[in-house]
Amino acid sequence: MLLSDGMVAYAEPLAVMHAACFERSWSVSDFQSLLGLPTTIGWITDTSFLVCSHVLDEMEILTIGVLPFARHRGIASSLLSQLFIYAAARNVHRIFLEVAVNNTPALSLYQKAGFRQTGCRRGYYQMSGKTVDALCLTKDIPSDP
């Protein structure tokens, strides 16, 4: 389901799912702040979510997750496909994100979806008491003919 008006109401379920997906999760108040911004767009299902920022002709994936029991079923790929359709219909030319260098499943997902590495942020993430680099990935969205 596409989140639009009233998205702040989804802050609690998003925080719960985020905590199930990530070691360092975002709080309800983090999601409330984010979802209150006019630039935030997102999708949520009973097993997954995708939240991004949309400014002019660019989007940034802020977080995407699939609950552990529902992984390896193509759900994240489906969310990305929905995002790409949404983006193309709104003349978005580029989508970017950061992903931990050690997040092999996410890197594989993004590579299959056509993202390419455009940079690296050293020590971007704190995981298990260690810093982990983030790869900056970008996907260009073709304009409709």
CATH of domain 2-140: 3.40.630.30
What is the C-alpha separation between 129 and 115, in angstroms, rounded? Answer: 29
Q: How confident is the model at residue 143 (pLDDT cuts 50, 70, 90)?
A: confident
107: buried, middle or exposed (CB in 10 Å: 19+, 13-18, 0-12)? Answer: middle
What are the helix (H) ranges across the chain?
11-21, 28-35, 75-89, 104-112
How confident is the model over 4-14, as pLDDT tens digits? 656 888 999 99
The larger pLDDT score, comparing residue 104 to residue 23, is at 104
Count of CB atoms situated within 10 Å of the CB of 120: 12
Alpha carbon of residue 129 to chain centroid: 23
What are the residues whose beta carbons fall under 8 Å from the beta carbon of 47, sequence distance 6 or more?
66, 67, 69, 70, 75
Sign of the C-alpha dihedral computed for residues 4, 9, 14 and 17 taken in this order = negative
Q: Domain locations in the chain?
A: 2-140
How confident is the model over 33-89, as pLDDT tens digits? 999 999 999 999 999 999 999 999 999 999 999 999 999 999 999 999 999 999 999
pLDDT at 28 over 60: yes
What's the pTM? 0.91
91: buried, middle or exposed (CB in 10 Å: 19+, 13-18, 0-12)? Answer: exposed
Output the pLDDT for position 7: 83
Output the pLDDT for position 10: 92
Q: Which amino acid is at 48?
A: S
